[in-house]
Amino acid sequence: MILKETPIRYKYFARNIDKTAPNKNKIIKSFTFIRNFTLAFLTKLSPVIRITYTATILIFVYSFITSQWDWTALSFLVVNLLLLFEVADKLTAKDELEVARDVQTNLIPLNPPENNEFEVVCHYETARDVGGDFIDFISKPDGSYLISIGDVSGKGMSAALYMVQVRLLLRHLSDFFDNPKAILTSLNKNIFKHIKKNLYLSVTLADIRGKNLKICRAGHTPLLHYNSAKRICSEIKQKGMALGLSNGSVFEGSLEEYELTLSTNDILIFYSDGLTETMNTGKNEFGLDRIKDLLILNSHKGAGEIKTEILDEVDKFRGYAEVHDDLTMIILKTK
């Protein structure tokens, strides 16, 4: 855990490091980096803490050189006291984030609706404490239901807040429209009207009736379909631009509904780009081909086992690399 978080913590300070011209002299280059990193660290502290910390470090160095151990002990205690203050601030902020995370997690369905036609499992993992991905299962009075998966632009708290608004709005609109294309068209109009301009998000919405699906994709990653009869895995790539890019007929005209009838042991995967774009320490992406190979290799297993196999392979591939994006996935396997 510590090794995985180290790159994230370094990037937090590295954003403020002065990008000076590179120096070929390794010693000068090292001293320059240490100086710039120290300055970046100090700018993150409040003015009072910054002055106190700097003075304490200088006293510590002076007392160590002059062997005035009383001052050395005092400066050591002061530094630890400052550390306690900073830890307290961090824990307070973390408590607030945990509350936000709990609220968001409670909105994500842990148990998909029971269905006689499918095994359904899902996975939701945020890159930070909260995220911008969402999934939902919306039951309809006639026994059908909608599956939605989306990805709001950005990360962290702002993306999470917009995610909650979009999800609730999507649920509300599903009561008034009967097909995915009409729901997404209305959702796009309401984003411009009620939420925020320049908010971009991708969504895939599927209406499921028995083994018949009507799918509409608005800029989201293509669904993966494993055909059990042919033992091949293919992408469902119908047209559709992301929401928030255009308000009007251009958006509606870009959407294309795709109808699909699944057979026994077919598999369908909805996923966010955080799955295929997971990177390892060498900056290589996990990629779509690995997902296809895993589907074919594990097609005889249940949906839950397939999910476990995919997540295990993703975790092995990522290693100690930083988590860059939310990872969301829904797997359907026909009975």
Domain ranges of the chain: 2-101, 111-334
**Residue 103 above 60 pLDDT?**
yes
What mean pLDDT is predicted for residues 311-330? 89
Q: What is the pLDDT of residue 19?
A: 57
Band of residue 96 on the pLDDT scale cut at 50, 70, 90: low
- What is the distance between the alpha carbons of residues 276 and 127, in angstroms, rounded to a whole number? 14
Classify residue 97 by burial, with Cβ atoms within 10 Å: 0-12, 13-18, 19+: middle
pLDDT per residue as tens digits for the range 14-58: 555 555 555 566 777 777 767 776 676 667 677 777 778 788 888
- What is the distance between the alpha carbons of residues 304 and 296, in angstroms, rounded to a whole number? 15
What mean pLDDT is predicted for residues 181-203? 87
What mean pLDDT is predicted for residues 245-271? 92
Specify the higher pLDDT residue, 102 or 199.
199
**Which residues are CB-neighbours of 117 under 8 A, at least 6 positions away?**
210, 211, 334, 335
Q: What is the pLDDT of residue 284?
A: 92
Band of residue 1 on the pLDDT scale cut at 50, 70, 90: very low
- Sheet hosting strand 201-209, strand order edge to edge: 133-139, 145-152, 201-209, 212-218, 257-261
- What is the distance between the alpha carbons of residues 275 and 151, in angstroms, rounded to a whole number? 12
Specify the higher pLDDT residue, 39 or 258.
258
Q: What is the pLDDT of residue 55?
A: 83
Pairing, β 327-334 against β 118-125: antiparallel
Q: What is the pLDDT of residue 93?
A: 59
Pairing, β 257-261 against β 133-139: unpaired
Number of neighbours of residue 310 by Cβ within 10 angstroms: 22
Pairing, β 327-334 against β 267-271: antiparallel
- Of 85-94, 185-194, 263-272, least confident by mean pLDDT is 85-94
**Residue 124 above 70 pLDDT?**
yes
Q: What is the pLDDT of residue 111?
A: 72
Average pLDDT, the chain: 83
Domain 111-334 sits in which CATH superfamily?
A: PPM-type phosphatase domain (3.60.40.10)
Q: What is the pLDDT of residue 326?
A: 85
Specify the higher pLDDT residue, 28 or 91.
28
- What is the distance between the alpha carbons of residues 6 and 278, in angstroms, rounded to a whole number? 17
Q: What is the pLDDT of residue 249?
A: 86
**Is the model's pTM score more than 0.85?**
no
What mean pLDDT is predicted for residues 209-223? 94
Q: What is the pLDDT of residue 195?
A: 79
Band of residue 2 on the pLDDT scale cut at 50, 70, 90: very low
**Could you give phi then psi for residue 36, rounded to 5 degrees?**
-65, -40
Report the sign of the C-alpha dihedral through residues 145, 170, 250, 234, in that order.
negative
Element (H, E) at 236: strand 232-236
What mean pLDDT is predicted for residues 135-141? 88
pLDDT per residue as tens digits for the range 76-90: 888 788 777 766 666
- Of 92-101, 239-248, 272-281, 296-305, least confident by mean pLDDT is 92-101
The total number of residues shown for the chain amounts to 335
